[in-house]
Structure 1
Amino acid sequence: MLQGKKLVCFDLDGTLIDSVGVWNQVDADLIQQLTGQTIQLGLIQRERDIQLQLFKNTPDPYLMYCNYLKDTYKIEQHTADQIKQQRYAISQHFLEHIILLKPHAALFVQQLIQQGIQVAITTTTSLQNIYRYQKNINIYPMLHFENSFDLILTRESVKNIKPHPEVYLQAIEHFAVQPEECLIFEDSLIGVEAANAAGIEVVAVYDAYSEHEIEQIKNKADYFIHDFSSVLN
């Protein structure tokens, strides 16, 4: 799997960190606060995934998602921008105190560094969230992003988000490596599809919140692991 690889790229949410379910809870809490409605977590995840895909080519997909929430749940007293601000306010506690690294993720990253392989974060999450993860009491002591990773690419780094391959093409260009010298770790179908489109081998990492598309993920990924213990020396 790692033979001949000079660069390993990691998605963040759902791959290195166990956060997808937290975002479902954030959105459910947001809707509860603004409307009094109780929303099923699986439903809000599907809605978010669909809307972010629809608005992926807009300047701010998450603002458009919040506008969708405003229209769908009839939140008349707030603008989409106000809803977005409240969403991030709710998320702060979760991002800085609740979220955990995926099992063995930090050990695997350190193993790659010791082997002289360059490592990068290639994520659709925002730079603002990266800063919040860096304050996380469960993450910072085990894996400091800025000290560990040679490159961090976020949503702000690209014009086209996944499943477009731009973030991965940008990474291999930055390190001046060929696609066959790179390996990607992803948890979602759109992430695996982005790796496929870039012509780069991809390892799918199991995440409970991608269970609904697990067979498609397995079919499109080059490798599939349940957690990073599978790739530790």
Structure 2
Amino acid sequence: MENKSFLERNTIIFDMDGTLIDSIGIWNQVDCALMAAMGGPAEEEMAVGRRRDDFLAAHGTDDNPYLSYCLALARHCGCSWSGEEVFRKRYEISRNFLIHQVDYKKGAPEVIQKLKSLGKTLVIATTTKKANMDIYRSLNKNIRAKAPLDACFTAIYTREDVSSIKPSPEVHEKLMSDLGLTREDCFIFEDSLAGVEAAKAAGIPVGVMYDRYSEGDKEKLREMGDFWYDSWQDVLAVLSK
């Protein structure tokens, strides 16, 4: 595969959580609060996040990976709630976080606006559920004020749009089919190991955006990614040349 910069590609595909928005830590906080509500043990946030990421990577082909995760978390906490009950409680806890606290990473809105002005087609491909993306689209004032999703992105793909989430390349294969694209048209920005694996499986160049919650996979991400960015300021520097 020819290794080309995002500037040489017409379509730029973005992951959401941990890539465009600073949200992974919030989900760790949500799951810690959820565990407390179920009478579970107090655990360090990063350990909670790693367990979630490992579980979702292993259960990406489940009908609803997050429902499976909620049931597993209940059992981890010694709680008898059903997966559906845990899922509803998780949504209740997370809603306030998603509306008021989630924000773009520094520099991300400027990158989005600049790429849009250059005529690039921008697409989101995320494992985030549609209900959460709808909150970002319509209720989150931080995102709406800086780079509104519907105004900036041609298409948004969520976990409901595929049968297998990342590291499966299905979401990328689907969006290329839907939009009439080839892998030579595309470039992907990702922060996680599962996301980078999905990009590589799809045969699309991937730029890894550093996220502190992927620190444990940093060396592997550096090896697998075609490009590495410490922050969106690095991308802005490329755009300003």
- Fold-level similarity (TM above 0.5): yes
1:126 to 2:126 alignment: no
Partner Cα distance (2:82, 2:53) in 1: 21
1:159: which partner in 2?
163
Query: Which residue in 2 is equivalent to 1:179?
Result: 183
CA shift, 1:12, in A, is 0.1
Question: In 2 relative to 1, CA 114–176 (structure 1 residues): closer, same or farther, beyond 3 Å?
Answer: same
Relative to structure 2, which stretch is displaced further, 121-130 or 53-62? 53-62
Task: Find the residue that maps to 1:203 and give its secondary structure.
Answer: strand
How many correspondences in the alignment?
232
TM-score scaled to structure 2, two decimals?
0.93
2:62 counterpart SS class = coil
* Other structure's SS at 2:177 match: helix
1:145 to 146, 149, 166: 149
- Where does structure 1 lack aligned partners over 5 or more consecutive residues? none
Please state whether the residue corresponding to 2:6 is helix, strand or coil: coil
Contact 1:101-1:139 at 8 Å conserved across structures: yes
2-side partners of 1:147 and 1:125: how far apart? 19
Shift of 1:73: 1.0
Instruction: Report the secondary structure of 2:16's partner residue.
Output: coil
Contact 1:121 1:149 in 2 (8 A): yes
Query: What stretches of structure 2 of length at least 5 have no aligned partner?
Result: none
Amino acid at match of 2:85: Q
* CA distance in 1 between partners of 2:53 and 2:28 (Å): 11
Percent identity over the alignment is 38
Partner residue, 1:112: 115
Q: TM-score scaled by structure 1? A: 0.96
CA distance in 2, matches of 1:119, 1:167: 15
Question: Match of 1:139, SS?
Answer: helix
The 1-side partners of 2:14 and 2:214 are apart by: 16
In structure 1, how many angstroms separate the alpha carbons of the residues matched to 2:127 and 2:235? 24
Contact 2:122-2:153 within 8 A present in 1 as well? yes
RMSD of the TM alignment (CA)? Answer: 1.1
**Cα offset for 1:36?**
5.5
For 1:185-231, what per-residue CA distance to the aligned partner results, in whole angstroms no more than 9, with x for missing partners? 00001101100001000000000000000000010000000111212
**Residue 62 (str. 1) matches residue 63 (str. 2):** no
Runs of 4 or more consecutive aligned structure 1 residues displaced over 3 Å after TM superposition: none
Match in the other structure for 1:170: 174
Partner of 1:22: 26
SS at 2:8 equivalent: coil
Correspondence for 2:90? 87
